[in-house]
A and B are shown apart, each in its own frame.
Chain A
Amino acid sequence: MSAQPPVIPDYGEPSACVARDATFCTDWFGDHWWNLFWPALVQHLELTLIAVVLGFVLAVGAAVLCHFKSWLAAPVSGVTSFLYTVPPLALFQLLVPVTGFSVLTVEIALVLYSLYLLFTTILTGLREVPEDAVRAARGMGLTRRQILFKVELRLAVPSLISGLRVTTVMTIGIVAIAAYVVDQGLGSLILKALQSPFNTQFIGAGALAVALALAADGALVLAGRLLTPWARTRRAA
């Protein structure tokens, strides 16, 4: 007869830090980087990116439409701001019966949240394009489409970027809550660690979420600078 496996699996010897039950164990964090933290970080980024990109496309479309047909702006703004006020957990609760405990549920909710800030900032950006630049463009014989793509959207880039910045940071935060729906992202590490007295996992995951938000924000600032060389220039002496 072969020996039965032990009832309690052999986890090996805990490090001194873990044995002491310290607040944060760097060695444990390092040991679990590749099997725990890194995959969660990548999932977190993926969930965020899909939501922001989809939300951005929808919001640009809606904002351009409302820019052309201004009577649409009030109703669209009303709907998006209403969606924005629904608490995330409540929205998940509403969606789960329809789309299940799935990534789809999470993305639908994230996109709906992103719309309000993106739509508002993009429409404001389009409306704040200097009137004389648009009038000159019309007077020179640019078509409505050319004015939109060559002048208005280009001049709205700073607004687009600032909208993307707040939305991205906000979405990274909400993705952490989405762990209630799908077992993905840094939120799921935090959620599981909440039930354990061992702190390194949730501190590590939380810190990574903060770092991700800061990095994404920084990347967008950089992208904004590259896209608007004209905004950096100061009057030559």
Chain B
Amino acid sequence: MTQVRPETPAAAQDIVFDHVVKTYPNATVPAVDDLSLTVPAGEICVLLGPSGSGKTTALMMVNRLAEITGGDIRIGGRSIRDLDPIRLRRSIGYVIQQTGLFPHLSIAENVATVPKVLGWGKKRIKERVGQLLELVGLPVDEYGRRYPSQLSGGQRQRVGIARALAADPPVMLMDEPFGALDPITREHVQDEFLALHERIRKTVIFVSHDIDEAVKMGDRIAIFREGGKLAQYDTPRTLLKEPADEFVARFVGADRGLKRLTLTRLADLAGSGELSPARPDDRSLPVLPADASLRAALSLMVAEGTEGVLVTAAEGAPDADGAARADGTPAGGTGAGGRVLGVASLDAVRKAGTA
């Protein structure tokens, strides 16, 4: 019997689009037009744009489901043109909208697909499948033998992610992976994926048409316009603050100021000393935990008609400086009971939002 090696995660690799052009046969205009951008290793890059802007084509060129007609794509410095498409695809995780799970295979068999075609030993496959299903919170003992039709949409999508990670690819491609989920499940799976990404640090290209999802998931966002042209490639913060042109400004929406507020947590205000100390009459203010976003704080102020919110230490977070404990349960509070860090005033939130 061969010893089962503990899997050492493959190091993430950067992905470089170098003047990439894709023109489909019989098409007069290119689907992707002179695309150049670099996705740094370990980051999530969201390709965002209206339908027909070439974002999915750009994604599919990376694993050669669509062949590039000009320019080059390099993963970790190696041109994808130099690799056999089958071998290339087996080294890239791929997640699509309807999950693409095989309905005739059990959850465990689905996850084992790529290791099997790679010819791994039975024992190694079994271990890997167990590990991955554990990682996405679907223990193999309980879920391994079920079929996809027996899972909820969110669970199926988690299996899709586990399957994409099976051969430990350095790079993952995700094509609107959460697009078919209801909003609550979607938010949940997004959070889970971000937490998972913290641990596995793959380079991820993620196609979305939803600006909120892009702002939430992306380390960087590439906005495409019709005709497959890259309109802007920036961090969410820069994109929302300084849209390159009218198109980007319209696409990110008139509420881009609000969206920027989602990027900052109350804890960040506390960290930079922008919370004012709580006074006794602030006890009537609504309460939010420090891990809530500034947008949530602003929304609560508007809803409650107050000029500030009381910020409490997030659950599990280390205490600030022995602040007083909030007594009572003020209206609208969700984090009541934690240590009070201070008050985030309307002014402070506004200032942080424009910074």
Binding site for B on A (CB under 8 A): 130, 132-133, 135-143, 146, 151, 154-155, 157, 228-231, 233-236
Contact = CB atoms under 8 A, between A and B. Distances in A.
B96 A141 contact: no
A141 B63 CA distance: 9
15 contacts: A132-B96, A133-B101, A136-B100, A137-B100, A137-B113, A140-B164, A141-B86, A141-B87, A151-B104, A230-B105, A230-B106, A233-B146, A234-B150, A236-B150, A236-B151
Interface residues of B, number: 34
Given A140-B113, A141-B88, A233-B147, A132 B97 contact: yes
A139 B96 contact: yes
A154 B94 contact: no
B331 interface: no
Contacts of A138: 65, 89
Given A155-B104, A236-B151, 14 more contacts: A132-B98, A135-B65, A136-B100, A137-B100, A139-B65, A139-B89, A140-B114, A141-B92, A146-B117, A233-B150, A234-B149, A234-B150, A235-B149, A235-B150
Majority secondary structure of chain A interface residues (helix, strand, loop or mixed): helix
Contacts of A141: 85-92, 114, 117
A154 B113 CA distance: 14
B102 interface: yes
B345 interface: no
A157 to B, nearest CB: 8
Given A138-B89, A140-B89, A233-B150, A132 B117 contact: no
Nearest to A134: B100
A230 B104 contact: yes
Given A140-B90, A154-B104, A230-B104, A135 B146 contact: no
A133 B65 contact: no
A108 B104 CA distance: 35
Interface string B27-45: 0000000000000000000
Contacts of A235: 149-150
B137 interface: no
Contact of B103 (A137, A139, A140, A155): A155
A137 B86 CA distance: 11
B312 interface: no
A27 to B, nearest CB: 51
Contacts of B151: 236
A132 B99 CA distance: 7
A135 B151 CA distance: 21
A151 B90 CA distance: 17
A133 B102 contact: yes
Given A141-B86, A228-B104, A135 B96 contact: yes
Contacts of B88: 141
Interface string B219-262: 00000000000000000000000000000000000000000000
B86 A143 contact: yes
